[in-house]
Amino acid sequence: MTAPLTWLDRTDFARYALLPEHLVPRWTGEEAYDACGEYATALRFEGHDVVILGGEPLPVTWIAYALVFARWSSADDDRSLLPGVDTALASGAWEDVVTVELGGRYVLTDAGYDGEHIRGLDHVDPPELVRVTIPAGRYLLQSLLIQPDPESEYYLERLLPLG
């Protein structure tokens, strides 16, 4: 049985940032304004790639085994998500977004939060950040909208390792 997913259900800015943990103290929250209008993109911050997910203020989670971020568009619950992700991983329908260089420890949180606010989120309930560890390497960020059943729809962004 898989562990329950941790969903972030708060974003006033309608965007989430996947920030390298060591850069959190210098993040002001204003950096992601240039990423407006995109559902998934990346920006450079102090020489590092920061993945930005958004476009709509949807709940988001990280599925580590699949290297997938999922945003809940519509569903009664998330029971169909993991089977839907497993099916999607074999699909050739993914849309290429951007190539990024990632590796290490990250936090996924509201892109509009500043570093001081982010550092205070570790024990907030409901959660406002998810800790993510990503193996070092180059990745192709890809997007896909899935409908694992007639009542469920999720936006997926996956990190596809590049040779």
Return the pLDDT at 33. Answer: 82
Please give the DSSP secondary-structure letter assigned to residue 25.
G
Task: Give the pTM.
Answer: 0.92
Ranges of beta strands (E only) in 33-128 are 40-45, 48-54, 60-63, 68-74, 95-110
**Closest residue by Cα to residue 134 from 45, 23, 18:** 18
Dihedral sign for Cα atoms in the order 97, 38, 111, 34: positive
Return the pLDDT at 1. Answer: 44
E strand or H helix that includes residue 12:
none
Residue spans of the chain under pLDDT 70: 1-3, 36-38
Six-digit token pair at 149?
């059943």
The average confidence (pLDDT) of the chain is: 91
pLDDT tens for each residue of 67-93: 999 999 999 899 999 999 999 999 999
